[in-house]
């Protein structure tokens, strides 16, 4: 079984078309590492090309929907429906030829994410979810893991970035978690895929500060439809406003909140 609603089909088509650019450009990055132009400018151009294709495809299918995207900002139309787009989540991985990055698209209706897709083009893994209809990886139903003790879990995080004003706090949180789990904390470099991996049961929890809405929009519905929890560090639902997000398999949610306190 797989998701086949009209909105999901639109998102899948847009992702697959835009992914062709990413796959092609990813293959060129090795040559650019020693070029005079440098890979940074190239990645920026890739970002914009992918975003352009995504917006064109989504607007073609749903011309009245609004859009929020990392590069172009907001395109305001019908405010009740809004696409939330991240053309490359994991840009630094892409830049360094590490095959771990994704296209992320969420669809918001009246302030709630109702469906989302996170597509890893290199591994050809399409994570998709729709409110009330479950979460899937390609055609396989997803469920979060069943581990119930934090010490046995694999936990992901990201950041802090170079300019973060909360660097010391993030490092303290990292150290606190490291003392609680047997498996070292993973920092994979793509928040969207981190959330997708929680939904797939590949890891058990994820926390991070100062993410943007487009980093997490699609992941929110994926985790929820797979049976997991998405909250802020206090267990509330203000994670977008206060920019702290905690994602778990639900069984270790309280333990992770205690560590973050």
Is residue 1's pLDDT more than 70? Answer: no
pLDDT in tens, 156-207: 999 777 777 888 889 999 999 999 999 999 999 999 999 999 999 999 999 9
In this prediction, residue 32 carries a pLDDT of 60
Regarding predicted confidence, which is higher, 95 or 128?
A: 128
**% of the chain beyond a pLDDT of 90:** 75
The domains of the chain are located at 6-141, 150-260
Is residue 34's pLDDT more than 50? Answer: no
**Is 6-141 CATH 3.40.50.300?**
no
Cα 101 vs. chain centroid, distance in angstroms? 9
pLDDT in tens, 66-116: 999 988 889 988 889 999 999 999 988 988 889 999 999 999 999 999 999
When pLDDT is averaged across residues 218-233 and rounded to a whole number, the result is 98
When pLDDT is averaged across residues 217-245 and rounded to a whole number, the result is 95
N-to-C CA span, the chain: 41
When pLDDT is averaged across residues 112-130 and rounded to a whole number, the result is 97
Cβ atoms of 255 and 150 closer than 8 Å: yes
Q: H/E/C letters for each residue in 195-252?
A: HHHHHCCCCCEEEEECCCHHHHHHHHHHHHHCCCEEECCCCCCCHHHHCEEEEECCCC
Q: What is the dotted CATH code of the domain comprising 150-260? A: 3.40.190.80
Is residue 36's pLDDT more than 50? Answer: no
């Amino acid at each position: 079984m797989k998701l086949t609603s009209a909105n999901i089909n639109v998102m899948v088509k847009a992702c697959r078309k835009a992914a062709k650019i990413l796959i092609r450009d990813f293959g060129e990055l090795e040559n650019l590492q020693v070029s005079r132009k440098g890979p940074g400018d190239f990645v920026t151009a890739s970002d914009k090309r992918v975003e352009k294709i995504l917006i064109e495809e989504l607007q073609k299918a749903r011309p009245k929907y609004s859009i929020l995207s990392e590069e172009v900002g907001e395109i305001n139309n019908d405010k009740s429906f809004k696409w939330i787009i991240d053309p490359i989540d994991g840009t630094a991985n892409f830049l360094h030829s590490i095959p771990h990055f994704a296209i992320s698209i969420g669809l918001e209706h009246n302030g709630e994410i109702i469906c989302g897709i996170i597509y890893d083009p290199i591994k050809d893994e399409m994570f998709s979810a729709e409110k009330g209809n479950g979460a899937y990886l390609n055609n396989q139903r997803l469920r979060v893991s069943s581990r119930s003790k934090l010490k046995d879990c694999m936990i992901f995080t990201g950041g802090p970035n170079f300019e973060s004003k909360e660097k010391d706090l993030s490092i303290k949180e990292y150290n606190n978690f490291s003392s609680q789990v047997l498996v070292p904390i993973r920092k994979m470099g793509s928040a969207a895929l981190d959330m997708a991996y929680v939904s797939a049961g590949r890891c058990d929890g994820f926390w991070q500060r100062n993410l943007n809405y487009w980093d997490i929009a699609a992941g929110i519905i994926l985790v929820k439809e797979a049976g997991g929890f998405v909250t802020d560090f206090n267990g509330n639902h203000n994670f977008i406003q206060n920019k702290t997000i905690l994602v778990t398999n639900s069984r270790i949610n309280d333990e992770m909140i205690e560590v973050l306190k």
